[in-house]
Structure 1
Amino acid sequence: MRQFRRGGLVFDVRDGGPPDGEPVVLLHGFPQDSSAFDRLAPLLHGAGLRTLAPDQRGYSPGARPPGRSAYRLREVTADVLALLDEAGLESAHVVGHDWGGAVAWALGAWHPGRVRTLTSLSTPHPAAMARSLVTSDQALRSTYMALFQLPVLPERLLLARDGELLRGVLESSGLPADAVARYVARMRGPGALSAALAWYRAVPLAARDTVGRVTVPTLHVWSTGDVALGRAATERTRDHVAAPYRLEVLEGVPHWIPEVAAERTAELVTVHVRSTA
């Protein structure tokens, strides 16, 4: 597969590994794209797994609908179901990082029959995240999300002087230089950053998309160097999984687990996938 469609939207996708391998869907976050898994995917292929890594809604040039409601969790989750349908897959293992992790949690709660296993990299369960905003330092860590609600200004600030601010934020958070250059270049494309920020601007609509308990085997990987997501929500996440659950903590690793800790992540995902075989 190189592309799949949902309605009038066209999504780019990277399909790799053995065609008959256990299928693993890889979902990126902000401001990444499917190349976030360039280090991870070949390791999964070497373990006999097939990977499908889409450029999600807003990141694929052919899938940038206007309006924040088009980026609600229900919509971006339905995109993954469309990917599975077009690939002829009844179900798959799902690995999500950052916003991709939020999509993975939603899939595990709303469509457990289509998720063989769930792996969330960095991202806690949405209910655990909501609780931590009023009981820990998570609200302080998430102040940037409030800025992203403003129209136009975030785009102007982040992209001024060839994306100097966006580049600086990503570098200071521990993202490797090659990935920084790649993501900043992509966000400078026409309409790309506004579409990516629409995921954040749809957050006030989240009351319509409550994510309940997950009932599929779940692996949660969190790193102590994550400046955006703290330990409080991570520790509470197990309360929202009614299935076998494992938390793996990576010491000293920044938020960018797929790019920085690909080898360890591949080991964990492979064991998790095979645990249900």
Structure 2
Amino acid sequence: MEQIRIPTSQGVFDALTAGPAGGRPVLLLHGFPQTGAMWRRQVEALAARGFRAVAPDQRGYSPGVRPEDPAAYGAEFLVGDVFAIADALEWPVFDLVGHDWGGAVAWWAAGARPGRLRTLTVVSTPHPGAFTHALRTDEEQKKRSRYMLDWQETPATEERMLADGARLLRSLFGGSVPPERVEEYVRHLSEPGALTAALNWYRSGSGVPTMGAVGLPTLYVWGTEDIAFARSTAEDTAGRVTGPYRFEALAGVSHWVPEEVPEETNRLLLDHLAAHPAD
């Protein structure tokens, strides 16, 4: 496993990678408030099976791609980064995996350029159509998503999250992520400008892009104790995928699935990739 830098037309992304250079390529996208390191156990497992896994620190998290304007964190830029990274790695087709915000970007990327993707795996985050429908019709989802509006306050949000030794930021993980990894994320987001850049994903003002059904082979994994996404959004996702679809609801598991239950995540991901082999 190694840290690399990926120069692209958008800037230079830091990334964690492992596996043979010629292995089947898998790109893994993290969410808030994490980095590509959240996928460490999955990168290891993929590499052991001969895949080439790359987990970048996304826009705002990589110092080399950290614009100040919140509008630069709109969906079109985030999706553009996915394919800019793939182009820089010379991956014409690849498997895409995402969690939390990275899951949203993965859905959008699948909707925008499905021909570039072999399979899609999303953890926690429902299909954007299911999410926007729930925001209109499901009081439980509205309640769970209220934080998104609160976090648009700046610099008040940053000050609250980093006060008292980043007590609030640490609390977001609810004890479900290994302490050493939480410390790594807190150190990263405590760097000047880093937390503001990460929160700019919530402040871009671009809203949720509309998109239709996804025709790719899709694995969707959701924990029944997820604090961000209600069961209604998870279950509604099935009707928004027309390709081969597998939904796994993990009982008693929280939002932080890949780090809370890494072995189960690895098993599901590897099974999904094996079920849809490269041509």
Q: TM-score range by the shorter chain?
A: over 0.9
Report the Cα offset of residue 122 of structure 1.
Answer: 0.4
Report the Cα offset of residue 227 of structure 1.
Answer: 1.0
Aligned match of 1:101? 103
Q: Does 1:211 align with 2:250?
A: no
Corresponding letter in the other structure for 1:26: L
Percent identity over the alignment is 43
Q: Secondary structure at the match of 1:254?
A: coil
Match of 2:131 among 129, 132, 146: 129
- Does the aligned pair in 1 maintain the 2:73–2:201 contact within 8 Å? yes
Aligned match of 2:186? 184
Match of 1:77 among 65, 76, 79: 79
Aligned match of 2:166? 163
- Does the aligned pair in 2 maintain the 1:173–1:254 contact within 8 Å? no
Aligned match of 1:233? 233
Corresponding letter in the other structure for 2:80: A
TM-score, length of structure 2 as denominator length = 0.94
Corresponding letter in the other structure for 1:215: G
Alignment gaps of 5+ in structure 2: none
- Does the aligned pair in 2 maintain the 1:173–1:227 contact within 8 Å? no
Q: Secondary structure at the match of 1:166?
A: helix
What is the aligned-residue RMSD (CA, Å)?
A: 1.4
Aligned match of 1:273? 273
Report the Cα offset of residue 162 of structure 1.
Answer: 2.2
Q: Secondary structure at the match of 1:56?
A: coil
Q: Does 1:21 align with 2:26?
A: no
Deviations 1:187-241 (A, max 9, x none): 1111000000011112x3126x323221211000001121111111101111211
Match of 2:116 among 108, 114, 117: 114
Aligned match of 1:11? 13
Matched residues in 1 for 2:212 and 2:70: separation?
23
- Does the aligned pair in 1 maintain the 2:9–2:84 contact within 8 Å? no
- Does the aligned pair in 2 maintain the 1:104–1:120 contact within 8 Å? yes
Matched residues in 2 for 1:118 and 1:173: separation?
28
Q: Secondary structure at the match of 2:251?
A: strand
Matched residues in 1 for 2:25 and 2:122: separation?
16
Alignment gaps of 5+ in structure 1: none
Matched residues in 2 for 1:206 and 1:272: separation?
30
TM-score, length of structure 1 as denominator length = 0.95
